[in-house]
Structure 1
């Protein structure tokens, strides 16, 4: 059961830990939302008001997604006891694909670590 504030913590919080599945699914949701706004933008006639609205929506979502990707990466790294600064690897061309795959498949710590007592929760 989802607690109040769990979604905002997942996408915008930097404390705690997040599991492989939550990391992958949250990243997939961000990618789908970006693809949808880009798709809608391409359907509108160039220079129309709707085209401008979808372009603004895409760029706004892009910047929110970058922030959320960093937050997700930091929490995923915390899950196996690594500092969040390594999340910068998600933005290095060519390395980013490998970093994302590693974060999706590398198992987290089974018990508590310095970043939290359990996975998918902020540090308490």
Structure 2
């Protein structure tokens, strides 16, 4: 699979499985994409056209990255042989941090499962 397709699969598809390292690093990239426009917004003068632009970019980055967070979590849950619908628990404020840590720390199911043959590949 070409690199561009792997990137699109990792962040935008919910099929297949993803391992701990790819989940963590993908989540880190999504967090950076969310944080950079917010950082630039905080540096810009209040009420300036620049601050308006960065606030809009921060909102767009946040909305666009929501799907990527969901897709990563669904594939990580698939690696643990759990249904992807459980990814919705990531929207519960305090519990989401615990679930994120669990998804980062617990190893996936060895060998094939009902969601795919191997981690880090589409189903």
Partner residue, 1:21: 21
Partner residue, 2:53: 53
Show structure 2 runs of 5+ residues with no match. Answer: none
Partner residue, 1:12: 12
CA distance in structure 2 between the aligned counterparts of 1:3 and 1:65, rounded to whole angstroms: 20
Q: Which runs of 4+ in 1 moved over 6 A?
A: none
CA distance in structure 2 between the aligned counterparts of 1:46 and 1:32, rounded to whole angstroms: 23
Q: Which structure has the highest helix share of the two?
A: 2
Offset, 1:107: 0.5
Q: How many residues align?
A: 123
TM-score by length of 1: 0.94
Distance 1:45 1:4, change over 3 A: closer
Give me the CA root mean square deviation: 1.3
Distance 1:38 1:12, change over 3 A: same
CA distance in structure 1 between the aligned counterparts of 2:44 and 2:94, rounded to whole angstroms: 32
TM-score by length of 2: 0.95
Show structure 1 runs of 5+ residues with no match. Answer: none
